[in-house]
Structure 1
């Protein structure tokens, strides 16, 4: 919580600061400006939750206080948008008579005007109420709102198949942060309605997925953040159609290219949620049923295997045996490679809000050492969505509400 106190009366400021300290607000969270010019500088440097503003304010150091200067500052904040507007703007004046000519205009631009009297508890009660509200809002940001957020790289075929497989009811697509297409709605799981948001990227890659995941986490504060879809696989570990349960992920391109053309890796792995990975180990029977019910497109002859292992991520498409030499020193059991998983895991691991569990399950639609084709993308999008649905069901069977 940040508070900007704008007042040229040092004694008055000291009383207000002492009161804020008694309410648990530390001095480093309180910034003081003695005139309008200083206040503009402070407002340009960072955002504040509360602005406490004297009605009669000097324009600059040594100038005569006037209501014109405080009103002009307020207009710049509220109407012009030249500075970030604090959530609460509160006028505090010790000179009730001197502010009469400015009261109406001042009141139109602030949350509330209160008379300051050290012996009167009215201003203290008002500030206490505002502080309590802000603390409750901050606590709300650290609690979950939505149950599930699904992030896909592609609208077609990944999100399209998830919508077919999951029993979701979604509203129309809308934009988040001008480039994240998503829709919100509900899903019925074992007779309980859960809130869900489904999103897909406007472009592929780990930067796009990290950006989208961070904004979706902030907007919806979900219990689960998951990703389904297609990936490449390594032929020694997986076959076409197999499901890669990403217990961890990292950027395989991170590091330093040496003079001899090799990559000295700088691996920074981020983990999927251990309990979600454990649930994924139990869904074999459900996957066999889903494999048998898939029709209309090419599908592997045998049901997919569940492969627990790293899903490495990079911004480049891999379709060469030579590039696999880069991977050998990173992990002996790398199972899949995609362009988004690490970005989502990274965003989740650095999120400071409500607790969230994350997991990526993707099906192998091509092998990273061979030419790409689209034959199994529909099946892989379908089967990964079916697998994640079972994991989600398992998770919510264990939670209280």
Structure 2
């Protein structure tokens, strides 16, 4: 939790600072700005939960304190949205007379105006309420509830493969939000460790549904790890059908500008999987042949390879060599394409709260440059689920 004190009165700053420390705020999390320009710099560099701003403030170092400087700074935050917005903004003044005479414009831009002086206690009661509320929220955001969440695009065969191949004890299925079906329960690992787990699937495919659903899941379950298994398309010069791709990074291959000659000027915004999970996943190559042998249904003739590479996402299925030319140049090691991976990574990267580790592990069920073949989807769902389970075993053994 970060607090920004914007004031040129050093005695008042020290008084507020000591009170905040007494309330449980770390001294290193209390930032101080003595003029509006300095406050702007600190707002741009830090996420501020609570800002306390003096009614009369210098515009810059050495300038005369005046109400216009404070009001202009607040307008840039609240109305113009030029500067990042703190969760709460409180006005402060050392003079009750000044507090009563505060311009209505200032009052409209802050939640409250506190009279901060040594002989007054009312400001302490009000400020304590805000601080304790923010601390409770921070504790909720930084406390994990679930160990693992598995999110799949498809109920069958992707999530079904998890149910059939993992040692799970799960509840009946229920609805989270408006479009996420899930079961909750426990995963019993071979190390005798039991993890709290949720297994969910989307009711709609695609990056938008994946982005929204991931955000709902992060808020609802607060997991240590979220992962996605299932099927993807692959590129024949990089993978074979049945190979398992660890998506080290992902982006929306369709993002950018289409120009007159129907070429795409890409504007990708890649998001990366958690490095620790990717590193551990690479060690599972010694187990992947065993997983292949365990599957007794229809499967590819070749043993699968474990490949770490980018997996791009898009809102449409690709089954054409021509369309591949549009985006294969975006990264020379691009190996696979799906419709959900980027949505998962994007939500995790931008989620406010305790960082959740994320990874997408999918098996190539078809090659994206030719006609689709659904024959290997069940096998691919199984083997990606088995690789993911082994990854969970390795990760939670370490922690």
TM-score (norm 2): 0.70
Structure-2 change in CA distance of 1:353 and 1:373 (3 Å): same
Partner of 1:240: 241
Structure-2 change in CA distance of 1:29 and 1:188 (3 Å): farther
Partner of 1:312: 312
Partner of 2:271: 270
SS at match of 1:259: coil
Preserved contact between residue 214 and residue 351 of structure 1 (Cα < 8 Å): yes
Preserved contact between residue 225 and residue 359 of structure 1 (Cα < 8 Å): yes
1:398 aligns with 2:394: no
1:386 aligns with 2:390: no
Partner of 1:200: 201
Instruction: Summarize deviations over 1:286-330 as a string: whole Å, max 9, x none.
Output: 2211111112x3101222100110101000100011111112321
Partner of 2:373: 373
Query: How many residues end up aligned between the 2 structures?
Result: 313
Q: Quick one: distance in 2 between partners of 1:126 and 1:269?
A: 44
Partner of 1:66: none
Q: Quick one: distance in 2 between partners of 1:120 and 1:266?
A: 56
Structure-2 change in CA distance of 1:22 and 1:315 (3 Å): same
Instruction: Summarize deviations over 1:313-354 as a string: whole Å, max 9, x none.
Output: 000100011111112321111111000000100111111211
Query: Mapping of 1:2-401 within 5 angstroms?
Result: 22-23=19-20, 26-27=51-52, 128=128, 131-132=131-132, 134-189=134-189, 190-295=191-296, 297-399=297-399
Structure-2 change in CA distance of 1:164 and 1:350 (3 Å): same
Q: Quick one: distance in 2 between partners of 1:308 and 1:150?
A: 20
**Structure 1 residue runs without a partner (length 5+):** 2-17, 31-41, 50-117
Q: Quick one: distance in 1 between partners of 2:122 and 2:348?
A: 44
Partner of 1:6: none
SS at match of 1:376: helix
Following superposition, the deviation at residue 29 of structure 1 comes to 12
**Structure 2 residue runs without a partner (length 5+):** 2-14, 26-49, 56-77, 79-84, 89-117
Instruction: Summarize deviations over 1:191-235 as a string: whole Å, max 9, x none.
Output: 111111111111000011011111111111111110000000000
Q: Quick one: distance in 2 between partners of 1:248 and 1:29?
A: 45
Q: Quick one: distance in 1 between partners of 2:283 and 2:387?
A: 10
Preserved contact between residue 152 and residue 200 of structure 2 (Cα < 8 Å): yes
